Amino acid sequence: SGTEATMHAIRLARGYTGRKKVLKFEGCFHGAHDAVLVKAGSGATTHSAPNSLGVLEEVAGNTLLAQYNDLGSVDSVLTANKGEVAAIIVEPVMGNIGPVLPAEGFLRGLRELATAHGALLIFDEVITGFRLSMGGAQRYYGVRPDITTLGKIAGGGMPIGVFGASEQIMKMISPLGKVYQAGTFSGNPMSLAAGLATIRELEAQGHQALDRRGEMLRHGLVEALRDSKVPHQVAGIGSMFQLFLSSRPVTNYQDALSADTALFDRMFLRLLDKGVYLAPSQFETNFLSTAHSDEDVRRVVDAIAESLAEVST
């Protein structure tokens, strides 16, 4: 799974650098292992707190937090923990509070800060890998991390987790190095076969039609909701989209929390009555697939506009 991918990526970064601490971003989700089940308390971006019972404070204490799209907060955390941070791990496009795009220069700034402080940069592309482009978000934005994690699309619907890095870093993995990685289903042939078949299909089709439908859907929502009195933001990129019921643009986790979740829940239920099943939370991302048609997109746009109008009056 993607959880294993990020778990091993962080272990690899710690083994390679000889450091303990990891910097992540508030609201970014990197799986269900202890090192990343941490988020900041309100207004305290550098004070870590476990996000689940069973996660030890001693473990959470080695996970530092900063605000997505805020290079100043990243620099402050790295400076305050000088020489102790093994890695910065980030979703290049946040996908687990709805799609939040990186501000201009943010990812490149992370690359520069990681290098300057001797930390590795990990891109968690479990969502964006093969979705934004065949080279993921790193190709799309032109920023290269030290370690990449993949999942979901890479398995073609079968369970899979992938992590990779340069030869120099990967030589740390046993038996060549002293960073342990193994599992009963590692290299599972069914998952790999499904993943390779999916990649071949994506290479043959390309992303143009899929991305065009994503833009068609987002533009359609903007137009359909132009006269709506409900504060809203249409967000997304490529085939990713979400409708934030908020009056302010969503650039980070705190912005996302301003959304009207109760109204979103009512809209979600009304959409079910119309045969449209979105992700069931305001804080998730919706995705188009190559199976969706232009007619599907028009139907979704109309259903969202109708449902929001019906539940907000």
Q: What percent of the chain has pLDDT over 90?
A: 86
Domain count, the chain: 2
Q: Are residues 173 and 257 in the same domain?
A: no
Are 186 and 277 members of one domain? no
Write down the pTM of the prediction: 0.93
Q: What pLDDT, on a 0 to 100 scale, did the predictor assign at position 49? A: 54
Beta-strand pair 85-90/21-25: parallel
Same domain, 220 and 138: no
Strand pairing partners for 233? 244
Asked if residue 234 has pLDDT above 80, the reply is: yes
Average pLDDT value over all residues in the chain: 93
Q: Of 182, 202, 222, which closes a domain?
A: 202
Peptide bond connecting 280 to the previous residue in cis, omega within 30 degrees of 0? no
Q: What is the pLDDT of residues 261-305, one digit of tens each?
A: 999 999 999 999 999 999 999 999 999 999 999 999 999 999 999
Residues 56 and 169 in one domain: yes
* CATH assignment at residue 278: 3.90.1150.10
- Say if residue 172 is in the same domain as residue 251: no
pLDDT of residue 40: 34
Domain that holds residue 250: 208-311
SS (H, E, C) 148-166: EEEEHHHHCCCCCEEEEEC
* Distance (Å) of CA 114 to CA 84, 145, 216: 12, 10, 37
Phi/psi at 23 (nearest 5 deg)? -105, 125
Are 39 and 174 within one domain? Answer: yes
